[in-house]
Amino acid sequence: MKKLFGVDFGTGGCKATVIDLEGNILASAFQEYPSEHKKPGWSEQDPALWIEAFINTVTACRTQMNDGFGGMLGLAVTASTHNAVLLDGNGQVIRHCIMWNDQRSGEQCRYLKEKHGEEIFKIGMQMPTPTWTLPQLQWVRENEPENYKKIRRLMFTKDYIRSWVTGDFCTDIVDAQGSLLFDARKQCWSEELCNMVGLPVEVLPEIRKTKEIVGTVREEVSKQTGLPGGLPVIAGCSDTAAEDFSAGAVKNGQIIIKLATAGNVNLVTDQAVPHDKTFTYPYSVEGKWYTVTATNSCASAYRWMRDSLYPAEKEQCDREGRDVYLLMDEQAASVELGCQGLLFHPYLLGERCPYFNPNARGDFFGVSMIHKKGHFARALLEGVAFSLYDCLQVLKEFTDNMEDIVIIGGGAKSPLWCQIVSDIFGLEVKMPQNAESSFGGALLAGVGVGAFADELEAAGKCIRMKKTYYPDMENHKKYMELFEIYKEIADMSGSVWKKLAEFSA
């Protein structure tokens, strides 16, 4: 049987998926790994954990199939973008990776905006925010000059892992765009942007197409994982670009809601439509672009609640072989819409769209003696959905089509959360059968090795819808009343966020 393999590195863990040429899943495995939050707003990861997760999940997939990796045609590695791995002259990691959701570079962003904002936006199609590699590098340069001087290679998460697999030194056009070191119009690294932080262009990887074969599995890796030596490996792309593709978003105007570590509302376009409140990327479907609006904390906020408020329940569920998230959902479902006046703002790691404020802080507003854990759980699900609805308002500047919407991500496994999103948006929301970055990466690997003629054929053969959520318009009206209050609280909190950030620093 012919097979395709996708391995994705999200912020919370690694997911590996093997599929056949009809899109059926033959094997899958997941391994969680932690982020480090040494200070408020900081988020780092140890790249060594990624390699360990790759070995373990790939090996687990091999053991799930009677014929192992027999018939394997190609491999793709995808990952969250903006995560720069800094390497010295010996190829060793200099420091832990500053992640996309890290907010420490707020001051550097302010400086770059004031001094170079117009030029940065013209070249890179984005305004500097703490998400981007450019201000992250400026922070390292100012605060860790000895580390900065050691940089001889800069790679992104998926490229660091893929390079370990194949020995290549390259990236794809999507991750290049995610650095804010890339000339989006000329489609090459920008010397002007690199010079702003004193970074030699030579340390940056070669840029290749997402579906292009860039290497093969090394024998050493084959021995550790069981992957066939010489197996073709494509460049890959960001997790979002792969996941949106896995949801069947291949045409102009399609909207994707993503309930993952972060929450996204993305729009596929035929042309780049740069905006100072969105992110603009080339898409994994060649010739297309996608516009991203995003909230920093989505499923990661629910995970934070699990670890902070439900440790005893998690321990008991683990002993019983149950998923504690199902228990949390059950408690949330028992609470009425609006949680009897309890609201949640999910700004646990600052916020991106539409505030772009690294000082933003999460809150539960309206707490009273009547509120129990179930109220807090539902308020969190509603608060994240409100934040995504906030993102949707920005996309309305680019499209009038709000009929073709799909929902993806780990959070989409919760029927309650999906229904809350549909009710708040007031729109039908479709769920694909297999919408994960690793699944999308496997499809892109199929395109790269010629198993499919192009992305459209891969989508047509392998992507199917599983369920549609229909909005309750009475609930929508109630939610719109609450959304106005939600916005009012956020709009008047800016000065308080700043004071809290200064105090905690």
pLDDT at 293: 95
**Is 179 within a domain?**
yes
Query: 266: which residues sit within 8 A by CB, 6+ positions away?
Result: 240, 244, 249, 255, 256, 258, 290, 291, 292, 293
Q: What is the mean pLDDT of residues 375-387?
A: 98
- Are 438 and 480 members of one domain? no
Binned at pLDDT 50, 70 and 90, residue 302 comes out as very high
> What is residue 410's predicted lDDT score, i.e. its pLDDT?
87
For residue 264, being part of any structural domain is answered with no
Contact call for residues 208 and 171 (beta carbons, < 8 A): yes
Higher-pLDDT residue of 229, 286: 229
Residue 89 lies in a domain: yes
Distances in Å between the alpha carbon of 319 and those of 30, 310, 322? 19, 14, 8
State residue 277's pLDDT score.
87
* Residue 272 is assigned to a structural domain of this protein: no
Listing DSSP states for 391-419 in one string gives HHHHHTTT-S--S-EEEESGGGG-HHHHH
393, two tokens: 């308002």
Predicted local distance difference test score (pLDDT) of residue 212: 98
Beta bridge partners of 172: 208
**Are residues 229 and 105 part of one domain?**
yes
CATH classification at residue 180: 3.30.420.40
pLDDT grade for 216, boundaries at 50, 70 and 90: very high
pLDDT score at 449: 98
Q: Is the backbone peptide bond immediately before 130 cis, with ω within 30 degrees of 0?
A: no
- Alpha-helix runs per DSSP H in 151-231: 157-166, 173-177, 191-196, 219-225
pLDDT tens for 424-445 read 999 999 999 988 899 999 999 9
Same domain, 205 and 313: no
Same domain, 403 and 438: no
Q: Which pLDDT does position 40 carry in this prediction?
A: 87
Residue 328 shares a structural domain with residue 217 = no
User: For tokens 């091999």, what's the residue?
Assistant: 62
Q: What is the mean pLDDT of residues 391-411?
A: 89
List Cβ neighbours of 115 (8 Å cut-off, separation of 6 or more): none
Model pLDDT, residue 33: 96
What does the alpha-carbon distance between residue 82 and residue 156 come to, in Å, rounded to a whole number? 7
Q: Is residue 267 part of a domain?
A: no
Please, which pLDDT band fits residue 230 given cuts at 50, 70 and 90?
A: very high
Q: What is the DSSP letter of 322?
A: -
Write down the pLDDT at residue 261. 87
Is 271 a member of any domain? no
Judged against a pLDDT cut of 90, whether residue 503 lies above it is answered with yes
Average per-residue pLDDT for the chain? 96
Question: Same domain, yes or no, for 412 and 488?
Answer: yes
Helix (H, G, I), strand (E, B) or coil at 62: helix
Q: Report residue 236's pLDDT band, with 50, 70 and 90 as the boundaries.
A: very high
Domain membership flag for residue 276: no
Average pLDDT over residues 340-368: 95
Residue 401 has pLDDT above 90, yes or no: no
Angle at 406 between CA 293 and CA 391, to 5 degrees: 20
* 201 shares its domain with 343: no
Residue 385 scores a pLDDT above 90: yes
* Domain shared by 91 and 156, yes or no: yes
Q: How confident is the model at residue 186 (pLDDT cuts 50, 70, 90)?
A: very high
Domain count, the chain: 2
Give the structural domain span for 306: 297-430+471-501
To 5 degrees, how large is the angle CA 476–CA 478–CA 479?
Answer: 65
Binning pLDDT at 50, 70 and 90, where does residue 41 land? confident
Residue 473 phi, psi (nearest 5):
-70, -25
Same domain, 48 and 190: yes
Cβ contact 20:462 at 8 Å: no
- Residue 434's closest CA among 8, 101, 51? 8
Shared-domain flag, residues 78 and 204: yes
Tens-digit pLDDT profile for residues 156-184: 999 999 999 999 999 999 999 999 999 99
Same domain, 308 and 456: no
349 lies in the same domain as 240: no
Residue 5 DSSP symbol: E
Quick check: is 87 in a domain? yes
- Residue of 410, 361, 420, 415 whose CA lies nearest to 388: 420
